[in-house]
């Protein structure tokens, strides 16, 4: 190893772990860097003041994405300035227009498009060094440590203080609450038998939790900025999609030990962030969409293989995919780029694009659901930029219905046993509203406002579809339990900014009404 690399490595090892300390260190460093030009210094100072707490002191990402030229390739500078001024729809990014004048915004843009003076690295070696066995497999309990139905538990992520609550899905009583890593994002994923749940945090930590013994099993940091994780259909492999570095990471699901780091590259020097990765159980594979290379990758890691290096199957597309959805048979991927005018359908068997989709409102396809309407299988998705839900026939790919809502929505849910689909109005003045839609008439039959003025979002049903649980996204928030037939409130459980709720049974049976 050369001395510079060793020094860099040492420097990285010494990185302060707390954002506050890192911020102080950065400010001190700025004071010493006399040669910085005035605008560059101004940008760095503005960054330390306003951005570092979410995007990381070194711009490597945290709650927010990494702000490095490579990650901003698809964002023009004037668009970046607009995001700084006005915030970003469909994310936690607020606007700073009232705090920063035009010169400071310009300096900030300059700063975030300036390359780092080192290449952030998160190699196999770094990953291995972070792995920690918290409870050895031999010490885990042999039966659930409580009386509740282990398959009707809900895992509720509470973003307010970075905790998760395990909820008895019959009595709606919390049975356990534990600390999580900072800023979990994406759906936690379950082992196929529902015993274990895996969490991913935005800053790359993957944790495995035993839902019988109610204790963590292991954890590992698989990336610097992570999108999500997936578990293979046979439960043996965990795949992690990273923004930074540009990798897919495969872990052994038993103890989170590293199996493989797969660099995401087109083979011609271009690398890419991974938009998301999902398990495709009937295909015995993982499927990943890429953000900077217009390709879908399929990783055949299921079955008893997967112990050797994985060769991704690459499907070349004519546009990027930021978000996607599988048809129930996992034959087709319905995907869209955030800035696209249309979505696209890819046939995974043939490896080709087969249709365009009429989706132009920034669809949040990851939260789409399906049901049967007039004998045909339809999928429905809310949009992050438009107050409507689009309903698409999954045989013809035609839009069969558009339901106008009171504003753009984030999450949509239903259940095989429920006649209704629920969609939130996450953005705008009606963000406290949730619509209940009749799945056959496509009419809104009820608009609920469980806590006027507070964001109401993300529904999940219990295992038999009799109750629907809804989050009030507020530090003094709650999970509100509704009778899914009468739409009457049954119970309200105080929680600290609860975000997603995940029912074990619905997830492991791949219910048509929830995300997988």
| Binding residues for ligand DHE (CB under 6 A) | 90-92, 159, 185-187, 227-228, 276, 323, 366-367, 410, 458, 499-500, 515
Q: Give min distance, CB of 8 to ligand DHE, in A.
A: 28
Q: Give min distance, CB of 217 to ligand DHE, in A.
A: 20
Q: Give min distance, CB of 367 to ligand DHE, in A.
A: 6
Q: Give min distance, CB of 494 to ligand DHE, in A.
A: 19
Q: Give min distance, CB of 235 to ligand DHE, in A.
A: 16
Task: Give the relative orientation of helices 19-32 and 38-50 as an angle to the nearest 10 degrees.
Answer: 170
Buried b (16+ CB within 10 A) or exposed e, 197-231: bbbbbbbbbbbbbbbbbbbbbbbbbbbbbbbbbbb
Cβ distance to ligand DHE smaller for residue 228 or 247: 228
Q: Give min distance, CB of 199 to ligand DHE, in A.
A: 11
Cβ distance to ligand DHE smaller for residue 104 or 516: 516
Cβ distance to ligand DHE smaller for residue 104 or 283: 283
Cβ distance to ligand DHE smaller for residue 104 or 507: 507
Cβ distance to ligand DHE smaller for residue 305 or 428: 428
Q: Give min distance, CB of 10 to ligand DHE, in A.
A: 32
Q: Give min distance, CB of 106 to ligand DHE, in A.
A: 24
Cβ distance to ligand DHE smaller for residue 367 or 418: 367
Q: How many helices (H) and strands (E) does the chain have?
A: 8, 33
Q: Judging by DSSP bridges, how do beta strands 444-448 and 456-461 pair with one another?
A: unpaired
Q: Give min distance, CB of 327 to ligand DHE, in A.
A: 17
Tokens 């099993």 belong to 217
How long is the chain?
Answer: 516
Cβ distance to ligand DHE smaller for residue 211 or 412: 412
Q: Give min distance, CB of 273 to ligand DHE, in A.
A: 11
- The answer to whether 188 and 157 have CB atoms below 8 angstroms apart is yes
Cβ distance to ligand DHE smaller for residue 213 or 498: 498
Tokens of 245: 């570095």
Tokens 């139905």 belong to 149
Cβ distance to ligand DHE smaller for residue 180 or 390: 180
Ranked by CB distance to ligand DHE, the top (closest) residue is: 187
* Cα separation of the two ends of the chain: 43
Q: In whole angstroms, what is the distance from residue 516 CA to residue 503 CA?
A: 11
Nearest CA to 382 out of 344, 425, 341 is that of 425
Q: Long-range CB contacts (< 8 A, 24+ apart) of 465-471?
A: 465/415, 465/416, 465/417, 465/418, 465/513, 466/417, 467/169, 467/172, 468/413, 468/415, 468/418, 468/422, 469/154, 469/172, 469/501, 470/422, 470/434, 471/156, 471/495, 471/498, 471/499, 471/500, 471/501
For residue 418, CA distances in Å to 169, 171, 436, 485 come to 17, 20, 11, 7
For residue 20, CA distances in Å to 16, 76, 242 come to 9, 30, 25
DSSP, residue by residue, 33-64: -TTS-HHHHHHHHHHHHHTHHHH-TTSS-SSS
Q: Give min distance, CB of 219 to ligand DHE, in A.
A: 18
Buried b (16+ CB within 10 A) or exposed e, 8-29: beeeeeeeeeebeebbebbeee
Q: What angle do CA 500, 503, 507 make, to 5 degrees?
A: 100
Q: How many CB atoms lie within 10 A of CB 462?
A: 24
Q: Give min distance, CB of 410 to ligand DHE, in A.
A: 6
Q: Give min distance, CB of 306 to ligand DHE, in A.
A: 20
Cβ distance to ligand DHE smaller for residue 107 or 389: 389
For residue 196, CA distances in Å to 130, 211, 251, 343 come to 21, 6, 15, 34
Q: Is 6 exposed, middle or buried (0-12, 13-18, 19+ CB in 10 A)?
A: exposed
Tokens of 207: 């944790």
Cβ distance to ligand DHE smaller for residue 215 or 416: 416
Cβ distance to ligand DHE smaller for residue 185 or 431: 185
Cβ distance to ligand DHE smaller for residue 37 or 91: 91
């Amino acid at each position: 190893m050369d001395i510079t690399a060793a020094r860099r490595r040492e420097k990285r090892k010494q990185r302060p772990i707390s954002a506050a300390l890192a911020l102080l260190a950065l400010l001190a460093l700025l004071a010493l860097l006399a040669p910085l030009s005035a605008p560059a210094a101004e940008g760095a100072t503005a960054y330390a003041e306003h951005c570092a707490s979410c995007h990381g002191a070194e711009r490597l990402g945290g709650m927010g994405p990494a702000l490095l030229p490579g990650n901003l390739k698809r964002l023009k500078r004037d668009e970046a300035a607009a995001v700084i001024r006005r915030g970003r729809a469909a994310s936690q990014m607020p606007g700073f227009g009232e705090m920063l004048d035009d010169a400071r915004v310009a300096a900030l843009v300059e700063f975030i498009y300036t390359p780092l003076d080192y290449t952030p690295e998160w190699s196999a070696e770094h990953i291995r060094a972070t792995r920690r066995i918290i409870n050895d497999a031999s010490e885990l309990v042999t039966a659930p440590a409580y009386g509740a139905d282990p398959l009707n538990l809900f895992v509720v992520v509470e973003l307010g203080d970075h905790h998760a609550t395990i909820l008895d899905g019959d009595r709606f009583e919390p049975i356990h609450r534990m600390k999580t890593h900072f800023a979990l994002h994406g759906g936690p994923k379950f082992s196929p038998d529902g015993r274990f749940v895996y969490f991913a945090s935005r800053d790359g930590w993957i944790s495995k939790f035993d839902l019988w013994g109610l204790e963590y099993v292991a954890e590992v940091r698989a990336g610097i900025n992570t999108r999500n994780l997936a578990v293979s259909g046979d439960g043996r492999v965990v795949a992690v999609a990273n923004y930074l570095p540009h990798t897919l990471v495969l872990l052994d699901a038993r103890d989170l030990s590293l199996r493989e780091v797969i660099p995401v590259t087109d083979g011609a020097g271009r690398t890419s962030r991974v938009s998301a990765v999902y398990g495709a159980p009937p295909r015995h594979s993982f499927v990943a969409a890429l953000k900077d290379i217009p390709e879908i990758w399929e990783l055949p890691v299921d079955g008893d293989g997967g112990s050797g290096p994985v060769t991704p199957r690459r499907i070349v597309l004519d546009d990027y995919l930021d978000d996607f959805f599988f048809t129930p048979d996992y034959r087709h991927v319905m995907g869209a780029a955030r800035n696209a005018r249309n979505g696209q359908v890819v046939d995974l068997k043939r490896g080709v694009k087969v249709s365009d989709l009429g989706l132009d409102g920034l669809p949040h396809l990851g939260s789409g659901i399906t049901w049967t309407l007039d004998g045909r299988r339809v999928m429905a998705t809310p949009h992050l930029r438009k107050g409507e839900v689009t309903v698409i026939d999954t045989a013809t790919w035609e839009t069969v219905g558009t339901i106008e809502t009171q504003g753009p929505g984030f999450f949509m849910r239903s259940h095989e046993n429920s006649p209704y689909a629920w969609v939130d109005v996450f953005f705008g003045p009606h963000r406290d509203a949730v619509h209940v839609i009749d799945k056959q008439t496509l009419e809104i039959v009820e608009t609920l406002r469980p806590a006027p003025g507070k964001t109401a979002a993300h529904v999940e049903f219990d295992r038999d579809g009799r109750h629907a649980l809804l989050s009030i996204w507020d530090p003094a928030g709650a999970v509100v339990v509704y009778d899914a037939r009468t739409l009457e409130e049954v119970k309200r459980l105080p929680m600290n900014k609860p975000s997603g709720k995940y029912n074990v049974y619905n997830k492991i049976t791949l219910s048509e009404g929830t995300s997988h």
